[in-house]
Structure 1
Amino acid sequence: MTRFGLSSCFYKDDVICMLLQRLYRLKQASRVWNETIDKHLKSMGFEPADAGPCIYTRGEGEDEYIVRLYVDGMVIASRQKAVITSVKARIAEKLRIKDLRRARFILGIVINYDMEHRTLGISQRVYTESIIKKFDQENANLCLTPLEPGVHLTKADQPQTRPR
C-alpha cells in the first residue's frame, strides 16, 4: 500500500516518516521562512516597521537602512553601499542567499537609476498596460493623473511618517 506519495518499497506499516525540513511551496514553508528571517533580522538589530510586517529598519536619518521582504526574496536599501554589503554578508552567515545585485524590477515596478544626477525613478507602465489589457480596457476613456506632468517634488514635500 502506498501512502503520502511514498513507494511501497519504502513504506512499512509500523514506520512513519517525518520531514526534517519544510518543503518549498507548502503553506507551512512560508511561515517557517518568515519566522527564520524575522529572528535573524532582529538578532542583527532590525526592528519591524509600523508600515508593515515585512519591512524592517535599523538606524536613523542618513544611517537608516531598510530590508523589505517579498515571499522568499528581499531588497536592502541604504544610502551607503558598504552598509548594504555588510547586511548581505551578515544574512549570508546564517542563510543561503543569491545576490541579484541592484534591483531593476520588483513586483511590476521598473526601477531606473541615474547615478550622475543622483535620482531614482519608478514606473509601473508594463504592469498598468497588462491590467488594462487583462480587463479589456484598451479603448476606455483616459483620465490624467492628479499630478501635473513635469512636477518635481523636493524633500520638503515629503510627509513625515514617523518622528525622527
Structure 2
Amino acid sequence: MDVKSAFLHGVINEVVYVNKPPGFEDPLHRDQVYKLDKALYGLHQAPQAWYETLSTHLLNNGFIRGVINCTLFIQEKDGDLLLVQVYVDDIVFGSTNDVLCKSFEKVMKDKFEMSSMEEMKFFLGLQVDQLFDDVKLVSQNAVKSE
C-alpha cells in the first residue's frame, strides 16, 4: 500500500521559512519569505515529520512499535497478529486473520489517501509471488547470465 502525498501530512515542530518560488515574487517586497505550517517535499525535516504523524496514528489505534525495528508496528487481538512494516511512504502488512487486515485498511483510509491496496506484486525492487501457503521473492536484477 502507498500513502499519497505522504510528506505533506507531516507536522513540523519548528519555525521554517522558505523563499518564494519563481513566479510568486513580489517586486515591491523582494525580501519576504513564506513561513511553513506543515512539512513540504524537499524539506529535510519532511521524512521525520511524516514518520511521526504515521507512527502516532498507528499507536493511537492499538499498535505497538517494534523494539529493534522502529518501522515495524504490531497489533495483537485475540491471539492473532497484524504486522505492519513501513518504508518511507510504502507499507507492507500481513496478518493471521483477514479481519485484522481489513480493519487496518480502514484505519489508514480514514486518515490518509491510499493507493495500491491490492495484493503485493513488487516491493523495493523485488517481485513478490504469493501462493496459498508460501511467499517467493524474486530479484531478476541480482541474477545475470554470462
Aligned position for 1:5: 21
Higher share of residues assigned strand = 2
CA contact (8 A) 2:85 2:93 kept: yes
Aligned position for 2:75: 58
2:100 pairs with 1:83: yes
Comparing 19-28 with 31-40, greater Cα deviation is found at: 19-28
Q: State the Cα distance separating 1:109 from its structure 2 match.
A: 2.3
Choose from 120, 125, 129 the match for 2:134. 120
Distance change in 2, residues 1:66/1:92 (3 Å): same
Identity of aligned residues (%): 20
Choose from 69, 78, 86 the match for 2:86. 69
Distance change in 2, residues 1:5/1:41 (3 Å): same
Q: Distance in 2 between matches of 1:72 and 1:11?
A: 40
- In the TM superposition, structure 1's runs of 4+ consecutive aligned residues that sit over 4 Å from their partners are none
Opposite residue 58 of structure 2, the aligned amino acid is: L
CA contact (8 A) 1:56 1:68 kept: yes
**What is the TM-score with the length of structure 1 in the denominator?**
0.66
Q: State the Cα distance separating 1:68 from its structure 2 match.
A: 0.5
Cα RMSD, aligned residues only: 2.4
Q: State the Cα distance separating 1:5 from its structure 2 match.
A: 3.1
Query: Structure 2 unaligned runs (5+)?
Result: 1-18
Opposite residue 97 of structure 1, the aligned amino acid is: M
Q: State the Cα distance separating 1:91 from its structure 2 match.
A: 1.7
